[in-house]
Amino acid sequence: MRSPPIVSRTTLLALLAMGAAACSDASSDPGLNAMFRLSGTGVQYVPGSLGSEPAAEAPTALLPNVSSNMVFPGASDRPISGAGMGSTAVLIGLDGDVGHWIAPTGIRDSDVEGAFDYQARFSISPLMPLDPPNRTIILRAVDAQGQVGPARLFPIKVIPPPSPLMVPLDGQPLVVTLQWDTEADLDLKVRVPNTANPDAPIDVWTKHRSALPTLGPSDPPYSDDDAKDVGTLDYDSNSNCVLDGLRQEDVVFTQAAPSPKAAPSGTYEVRVDAASLCGQVTARWHAYAIAADGTVRGEAYGQALDVDTQGSHGPTSGTLAFRFMVP
Amino acid sequence: MFADNASSHGFAGGLARRQYRGVIRVVRRGCLLAVAVWLAAGAPAAAEEAKPAPVEGPLPPAPAEPAEPAAKAADVEALRAEMKALHEASDAQKAALDEVSAVLSTEREQRAEEVISLQDKADKARLAAEQSLRFTGYVQADGNLWTQASHDELNQSNGALINDTRFLIRRARLKASIDREWAAGLLEFDGNTVNGATARLIGAEASAKVASDPGEPSVLMLTLGLFKIPFGFEVLQSDRDRLFMERSTAERALFPGEFDVGARLAGAWRFARYAIAVQNGEPVGEKATWPGRDPNAAKDVTGRVGVETPISDTFWIAAGVSALSGKGFHPGTPSTKTTVQWNDANQDGVVGPGEIRGVPGMAATPSKNFIRFGYGADLRLGLTTPGLGSTVLYGEIFVAQDLDRGILPADPYGALSRDLRELGGYVALTQDLGPHFAAGVRYDVYDPDRDSADPARPLVPTSFSYQTLAAVVGAALGPVRLTAEYDHNVNHNGRDSSGNPQNLDSDTFIVRGQAAF
């Protein structure tokens, strides 16, 4: 007669146990909102910041092996490895981040007795702020009993992403930039005054990337010295829909007047050409020209649609974003 | 009983009434016959009783008393016998009449039962017809006879056809529906050749409802499935009923495809109409993300309340207000691999030093949700003119933020880094020209970005607005309708030789044949 309550109690206990187990289950969150991301065999994301508060003396994490502690927003697929003493996993996260990662240790370290190694790869979110530049990667080893060891801190420095020209864009005499938001193939086209022949301005674009007059059929090619340091389109992003994630193109003049390779005086025209939307419905763009002192010489926003991809994609095609003068 | 039947079931009640009247006539005729026989038999005797004896001269002295009683007694006996015979005849006739009446009554009851049985069968048949699986559908075959934006060429960026001067099956719909007392269901498929031959699910509904009169909307109906977003008038208007070829630009921008998956509570009470729905927020015609699916857990809530009522015998009005609140989805970007490009800086056609440049692989960016909403108001006025037909003047206005999913998809996390506020509407007039002809005109306008002229963020072009003036004429004969429409479109999608925005010619002339069943 008493069995039903016992069954109910058993069921209740089972449900409670299942609930408790569910509370400790792993998260399916891919962790893309985290500034610091880890990938590799068995790596698991855990929502919640990893603190560096004092804990048990053991297990301890060793300093990680990283190719460089200089990282930029969007840095991808950087190797990271390390070991934990008597540990089964190492918790890794960035200070103040929204989550951290579990990197299981499996291989016994060949050099350090009692240490177990992990190997993974890390990425930095493209949304990582540049300020503050000095950040810290926190590592804490965990043993089989779930005991979390003390925090090991590894400093990193966040720097601006490199330009394909391998020069910083800030502070250059003249930089014309096009940025957009979807994985479409947009092209920046800048019409540059031609001081030698004002009637034949120079169109700098993906098929003519240097601000040098186009050569005739019988003209000899420019020398390397001639081509060096002139205004140049740095990269054709997402060219032919080969995605590079940059979604930015710049025409950069690195030389200032009175250098003959400085941006010539006159009127510049900036166009945005939608070569292909690469399957996207639209691409919203922002184009601007900035001088060395930070003065914005011109700026425009726009949105490319499928209709913008029609027609030719020559040097003068595309939407006129703005014009500006260089004195 | 017959009277009740007669009032509610015309055919069966009439039969019963005729039977009843027949019986009454038979009984009346029998009674009249009996009275006539009785009068005919009794009248000579009475006459003889009343008839005075012939008088010739002065009155004779009174006859002797003994002789009179003997004669009178014989007469009385004769009369008695005669009356007895008459009574017997009357009784026999009465018995016959009773027998006839009993037979007729029995027969009448039998026939009444048969009538009731027939009524029940008829009711069941009618109910079964109403509740049985019904198939309806229509075909809209278009001829795009003239489209200014067409060219015999391909889009060089994606290989898409630029020509749109063609014949196509715009819609071929087949709908199966069932409507029971407490439940209803619907399944609708669409076929078309807009982008090649396509067949797709366009509607699927499972509903539970409060019972209502046949043909009348329920006061409360809960529906799960794929159905139209309950917003405004034009979204919910059937494609087969609309005189114009397509919906207005604003509607196509904010509610592309009209159908979405979710749950809906709707109903009608007298002149009031209401509907509220929770849906994925990704209509089947959406271009931006995943039509028919849902990239985020948040759901769009849409609702409309309105009235539909006649003002007089010839004038009616319908109006409503609508609202939508939901969350859109900004998709993240995938991680990329390292890429390398060659820049032939010195234009010698040979890879030289410093001409190879690389871009390191980039990490993925996360997706985000953003809030979007919209409001709308619709009004329709109808007037029926004898001999001419119906005149309908109607219009709608839309105000929204980050809701465009069809024309210029909104994303506040895009390069503009701000919300896009949309404004659109239309006004239309349709006129029947007798029973077989109709004509209409509609002007619609849509601005997908009301802040495009904001000097703080100079936009190119400074306006993305669209305007369309559509004129349509139609002729109908039975289930077949032929319509022709000219659309004059104004936009900012073209570029002049300097790269500045200008109108991209895109006027169209379309004829449509429609057959419905």
- Please give the pLDDT value at position B232: 96
The reply to whether A39 touches chain B by the CB within 8 Å rule is no
Q: From the list B353, B354, B416, which residue is nearest A301 (CB)?
A: B416
Minimum-distance CB partner of A74 among B345, B362, B504: B362
Contact A76 B336 (CB under 8 A): yes
Chain A residue nearest residue B156, CA to CA:
A310
Q: State the sign of the Cα–Cα–Cα–Cα dihedral B448, B449, B450, B452.
A: negative
Helix, coil or strand: residue A84: strand
Question: Measured between CA atoms, how close is A89 to chain B, in angstroms?
Answer: 25
Map residue A37 onto helix, strand or coil.
strand
In chain A, the residue whose alpha carbon lies closest to the alpha carbon of B347 is A221
- Among B464, B488, B166, which residue's Cα sits nearest to residue A282? B464
Partners of B464 on chain A (C-beta within 8 Å) are 303
Is residue B14's pLDDT more than 50? no
Q: Check residue B494 and give its pLDDT.
A: 83
Q: Which band of pLDDT confidence, cut at 50, 70 and 90, is reported for residue A162?
A: confident
The answer to whether A203 faces chain B, any CB pair under 8 Å, is no
CB under 8 Å to B254, separation ≥6 — which residues? Answer: B374, B398, B400, B403, B404, B405, B406, B422, B424
pLDDT greater than 90 at residue A229: no
**A positions 262-301 inside 8 Å of B (CB):** 269, 271-272, 274-277, 279, 281-282, 284-286, 299-301
Q: B231 to chain A, minimum CA–CA distance in Å?
A: 25
| B406-452 tens-digit pLDDT | 998 899 998 888 899 999 999 999 999 999 999 999 999 999 999 88
Most B CBs within 10 A among A182, A188, A189, A303, hence the mutation to make, goes to A303
- Between chains, do B408 and A75 touch, taking CB under 8 Å as contact? no
Q: What percent of chain A has pLDDT over 70?
A: 93
pLDDT at A286: 94
Instruction: Pick A132 or A23 by higher pLDDT.
Output: A132
- State the average pLDDT over residues A163-191: 91
Instruction: Check whether A2 has a pLDDT greater than 80.
Output: no
In this structure, CATH architecture of domain A28-158: Sandwich (2.60)
Q: Is residue A191 within 8 Å of A268, Cβ to Cβ?
A: yes
Whether B302 has a pLDDT exceeding 90, the answer reads yes
**Burial class of residue A144 (count of CB atoms within 10 Å of its CB; 0-12, 13-18, 19+):** exposed
Write the CA distances from A154 to A34, A82, B100, integer angstroms. 18, 12, 117
Mind telling me how many Å the CA of A319 is from chain B's nearest CA?
A: 5
Q: Report the 10 Å Cβ neighbour count for A301.
A: 22
Q: Which residues contact B151 (CB under 8 A, 6 or more apart)?
A: B162, B163
Distance of CA B293 to the CA centre of its chain: 28
Helices then strands (H, E): number in chain B? 4, 21
Indicate which of A239, A284, A323 best probes the interface with B, i.e. most B CBs within 10 Å of its own CB.
A284
Does residue A196 carry a pLDDT above 70?
yes
Identify all chain A residues contacting B499, using CB atoms and an 8 Å cutoff: 269, 271, 316-320
Residues A144-150, mean pLDDT to the nearest whole number: 91
- B22-57 confidence digits (pLDDT tens): 444 544 554 445 444 444 444 444 444 444 444 444
Contacts of A237 in chain B (CB under 8 A): 359
pLDDT, chain A, mean: 88
Contact A174, A326 (CB under 8 A): yes
- Does the pLDDT value for residue B2 go beyond 70? no
**Strand extents, DSSP E, B389-436:** 389-401, 421-432
Which of B501, B466, B502 is CA-nearest to residue B487? B466
Q: Which residue in the set B339, B408, B498 is minimally distant from A320, CB to CB? A: B498
Q: Is the pLDDT of residue B341 over 70?
A: yes
Task: Closest CB to A245: pick one of B335, B346, B367.
Answer: B335
Region B378-399: mean pLDDT is 96
Q: What does the pLDDT read at residue B67?
A: 52
Residues linked to residue A249 through DSSP beta bridges, in sequence order: A178
Asked if B362 contacts B336 with a C-beta cutoff of 8 angstroms, the reply is yes
DSSP class per residue in A233-285: E---TTGGG---S--EEEEEE---TTSTTSPPSEEEEEEEEEEE-TT-S-EEE
Tokens 């499972």 sit on residue: B206
* Of the partner residues B155, B339, B499, the one whose CB lies closest to the CB of residue A309: B155
Cα distances from A313 to residues A275, A317, B182, in angstroms, run: 7, 5, 61
Q: B328-354 b/e with 16+ CB inside 10 Å = b?
A: bbbbbbebbeebebebbbbbbeeebee
Cβ separation of A300 and B363 shorter than 8 Å? no
Q: CB-side exposure of B370: number of CA atoms within 13 Å?
A: 20
Measure in Å the smallest separation between the Cα of B362 and chain A Cα atoms.
5
* Chain A closest-CA separation from residue B201 CA (Å): 23
pLDDT > 90: what percent of chain A?
A: 60
With bands split at pLDDT 50, 70 and 90, how would you rate the model's confidence at B288? low
**CB-based contact (8 Å) between A76 and chain B?**
yes
Give just the sign of the alpha carbon dihedral A115, A118, A124, A128. negative
Contact B284, B204 (CB under 8 A): no
- A308·B332 Cβ contact <8 A: no
Residues of A with CB below 8 A from B155's CB?
306, 309-310
A vs B, Cβ pairs < 8 A, gives 183
Distance separating alpha carbons of residues B330 and A32, to the nearest angstrom = 14
B294-326: b (≥16 Cβ within 10 Å) or e: bbbebbbbbbbebebeeeeeeebebbbebebbb
Q: What is the pLDDT of residue A227?
A: 82
Cα B236 from Cα B308, distance rounded (Å) = 14
Q: How confident is the model at residue B21 (pLDDT cuts 50, 70, 90)?
A: very low
Q: Is pLDDT of B460 > 70?
A: yes
For position B44, what pLDDT does the model report? 45
Q: Do B345 and A32 touch (CB under 8 A)?
A: no
Minimum Cα–Cα distance from A321: chain B residue: B460
Mean pLDDT across B325-331:
94
Q: What is the β-pairing status of strands B134-147 and B508-516?
A: antiparallel
CB B149 within 8 A of CB B162: yes
CB contact under 8 A, B343 and A210: yes
Among B369, B341, B335, B338, residue whose Cα is nearest residue B355: B341
- The Cα–Cα gap between A86 and B379 comes to 75
Chain A's closest residue to B368, CA to CA, is A33
**Contact at CB, B332 and A302, closer than 8 angstroms:** no
Distance CA B410, CA B448 (A): 8
Average pLDDT for residues A23-52, to the nearest whole number? Answer: 89
Q: B279: part of which helix (H) or strand (E)?
A: strand B272-279
Nearest-CA distance B229 → chain A (Å) = 23
Contact B363 A123 (CB under 8 A): yes
Q: Which residues of A touch B358 (CB under 8 A)?
A: 164
The pLDDT of residue A58 is above 70: yes
Confidence at residue B445, expressed as pLDDT on a 0 to 100 scale: 97
Tokens coding B426: 């239309």
Nearest CA in chain B to A237: B359
Q: Measure in Å the smallest separation between the Cα of B345 and chain A Cα atoms.
A: 6
pLDDT, tens digit (0-9, with 9 covering 90-100), for A252-302: 999 998 888 999 999 999 999 999 999 888 899 999 999 999 999 999 999
pLDDT in tens, A82-108: 999 999 999 999 999 999 999 999 888
Bond before A162 cis per omega within 30 degrees:
no
Across the interface, whether the CB atoms of B458 and A179 are under 8 A apart is answered no
Residues in chain A with CB shorter than 8 Å from the CB of B328 are: none
CB contact under 8 A, B157 and A276: yes
Q: Which of A181, A234, A251, A296 would you mutate first to test chain B, the one with the most B CBs within 10 A?
A: A181
For B415, the closest of A164, A180, A309 (CB atoms) is A180
Q: From the CA of B399, how many Å to the nearest CA of chain A?
A: 21
**pLDDT given at position B458:** 79
Q: How confident is the model at residue B129 (pLDDT cuts 50, 70, 90)?
A: confident
Confidence (pLDDT) at B29: 52
> Taking all residues of chain B, what is their mean pLDDT, rounded to a whole number?
85
Q: Is pLDDT above 70 for B373? A: yes
Cross-chain CB nearest to B458 (options A164, A242, A299): A299
Residue A159 near residue A147, CB atoms below 8 Å: no
Decide which of A224 and B99 is more confident. Answer: B99
Q: Which residues of chain B lie closer than 8 angstroms to A269, CB-CB? A: 499
Q: Is the pLDDT of residue A19 over 90?
A: no
Query: So what's the ipTM on this one?
Result: 0.79
B353 → closest Cβ in A224, A235, A310? A224
Residue B277 to residue B301: CA distance in whole angstroms: 6
Instruction: Report in angstroms the alpha-carbon separations of B85 from A246, B45, B74, B96.
Output: 127, 14, 16, 16
Closest chain B residue to A276, measured at CA: B157
Can you list the positions of beta strands (E) in B290-361?
Answer: 300-310, 315-330, 339-342, 356-359
Measured between CA atoms, the residue of chain A closest to residue B155 is A310
The answer to whether B363 contacts A124, with C-beta atoms less than 8 Å apart, is: yes
pLDDT given at position B220: 96
| Cα A94 to Cα A100: distance, rounded to the nearest angstrom | 7
> For B429-438, b where at least 16 C-beta lie within 10 A, e where not — what string?
ebbbeeeeeb
pLDDT per position as a tens digit, B97-109: 998 889 998 998 9
Helix (H, G, I), strand (E, B) or coil at B461: coil
As separate numbers, helices (DSSP H) first and strands (DSSP E) second, chain A gives 2, 20
| CB-count burial class (<10 Å; 0-12, 13-18, 19+) for B468 | buried
Per-domain residue ranges for chain A? 28-158, 174-326
| Residue B469 · residue B454 · CB < 8 Å | no
* C-beta atoms of A245 and B500 within 8 A: no
Q: Is A6 on the interface with B (CB under 8 A)?
A: no
Query: Residue B349's pLDDT is what?
Result: 83
**Is B346–A227 a contact, with Cβ atoms under 8 angstroms apart?**
yes
> pLDDT-based confidence at B69, cuts 50/70/90?
low
